[in-house]
Chains A and B, each alone.
Chain A
Amino acid sequence: MEIGLNHYLILSTILFAIGLVGIMRRKNLLLLFFATEILLNAVNIGFAAISHYYGDLTGQMFAFFVIAIAASELAVGLGLLIVWYKRHGTIDLDTMTSMRG
């Protein structure tokens, strides 16, 4: 069976769905970052696949951008996470309720 565009897109969708569920279900901030990474990479797969299908490099370029920005975002996020952990001794999402309206 030839692996075509649809397979990549389906994979991308599945990964995106997994990421989405992760975002909604996980209470650990660290696992939330993982879920976000899955989301971003799901999109990256989509970009790369479509870019290859059309023979246009723009999509792959965009994927690189996403990877770079995701890396820096993760660096900042992890930094904040460590500070938070040092202060509160926990990274459970349910305890972060200072924005309660």
Chain B
Amino acid sequence: MGVEFTGRRGALFWLALKTGFFSILTLGFYRFWMKTRLRRWYWSAMRPGGHPLEYVGDPLEKLLGFFIAVVILTFYIGIVNLLLMFASFSVFNSSALGYVASFAGVIPLWFYARYRARRYVLARTRWRGVRFGLERGAWGYAIRALWYWFLTIVTLGALWPRMTFLLEKYKTDRTFFGSARMLQGGRWQMLYRAAAPFIAALIVLLGTGLWLFWLDPVFATGFENGAAVVEAVDGFFEGRMPVDNWSSPERLLLIPLALSGLLFGAIYYRWVSKRIMAQHKMAPGIQFDSQLSGVRVTFIYVLGNFIAYVMLVLGLVAMIFLGAFMFSDSLLFLTDMPGAQTALSLPRWVSIVLLAVMYLVFFLMWGVLYNTFVTFPLMRHMALTTSLPVTAGLPLISQRDRDAFAEAEGFAEALDLGAAI
């Protein structure tokens, strides 16, 4: 059984634009409706066996969940932040520790919220009228995640694939479609295959570093201090090549090249590990398969993010100019332009409101473009490359009970995990 993908980019663009616009108008409250509607659209676009997935999440329950999370988290975050700040200045005379501790205090909550959010989304997803579901176990997930992260850091990343695999297995083994429990098969060692490009890029980067700064140094004489480096870079960009004792500085271009390789390796690992694990997912009488292409996904990421960020950067530059124009008298060359006098004579608060609106509009456009050029093609690629080669177990499945779940994904929303669909 294959998975179809219906729905056109244009339709999604308008939906994202419309709902995003309402979100701004309502100072962010419509975002619960926006997220629901976008999910409905994406879910219904993915059609295993020709029949759409259905997202039945309710915006009002999201709003309720958000309120619940706010009530619980305000006390935690407000008081804890204040006490940490106090403690770090009373005892250690520095703010750095306070920031680190307040960040570290949120990490277990963050994993907890991620699992809860997944449980909510699965509980509100149906296909052919049958519910998905995820068993309870958010604290177990948070504790395991912390432990695997600790092991990963201690081993300098060597056990990263183990963490990826075991966390995914924890979630998959608790996932249900109707009465059928899913199972993550395979071993964690199989994910090293996905990490190959990243490891290669890392080796190239280290080798480049060794070559450029140790074996055959570009800066044979070295720099006395930081100021000399700034001086040299300035000189380089102003067209002076003052340093005749540099040996073939064009080799420095290898560094950004190796860094891009590292980025590619990271994206490749993230998605190809998903593919490998998907190929080993199963349920009674059902097999999954995925032909996802890591190169294609990287391409989507790079191109989509480029489009979205170009928009954002253009917007911010325009804003800076407008701001400078409104608030400064030093841009005298602008005062000759028609209409300049009206703009300058605007009351200050009008200018501030104008800038705030522009700021919001550019972030709205960024979100819309990200949906259109990153999330949409990613979802499409994921849907079209996924298939179910064995579906003999489907007739044996029956409906499961509804998971009421009062706080919806409130914690995830409040802790800012909501950005991902």
A, B bound: no
